[in-house]
Amino acid sequence: NAGVTQTPKFRILKIGQSMTLQCTQDMNHNYMYWYRQDPGMGLKLIYYSVGAGITDKGEVPNGYNVSRSTTEDFPLRLELAAPSQTSVYFCASSYGGVQYFGPGTRLTVT
């Protein structure tokens, strides 16, 4: 089991560019989540999904979009990147309440 995998590990974007952060899990979990972690802070929920085809906004959804066409994949799309989106992004999946996290993607917008 690879668990939760994320790509890329690091990325530098210019202001206004777009990109997709990939997240895949092989545990057949229905619930998946995207968080961002700003320096020295805890994680904040961006979007979540409770199954294929079902997504909803978390605390800080502005500037992001998601889709969930399969159980395994939950990509996060950044449109028109802004410096405020510089952060570490974590994807997680859960079963039985415990969330298992991917290794994170460190994104810098300059």
Which DSSP symbol is given to 26?
A: S
Q: What are 18's two structure tokens?
A: 């777009």
Amino acid at 40: G
- Estimate to the nearest angstrom the gap between the alpha carbon of 11 and the chain centroid: 14
Instruction: Work out whether 88 is an interface residue with other proteins (CB under 8 A).
Output: yes
Q: How far is the CB of 17 from other proteins (least distance, A)?
A: 23
Instruction: Work out whether 90 is an interface residue with other proteins (CB under 8 A).
Output: yes
Do 11 and 17 contact (CB within 8 A), yes or no? no
Instruction: Work out whether 54 is an interface residue with other proteins (CB under 8 A).
Output: yes
The Cα angle at residue 45 between residues 39 and 47, in degrees rounded to 5: 130
Among 44, 63, 67, 86, binds other proteins (CB under 8 A): 44
Instruction: Work out whether 52 is an interface residue with other proteins (CB under 8 A).
Output: no
Q: Which chain residues interact with other proteins by CB under 8 A?
A: 31, 33, 40-45, 48, 50, 54, 56, 58, 88, 90, 92, 94, 97-101, 103-104, 106
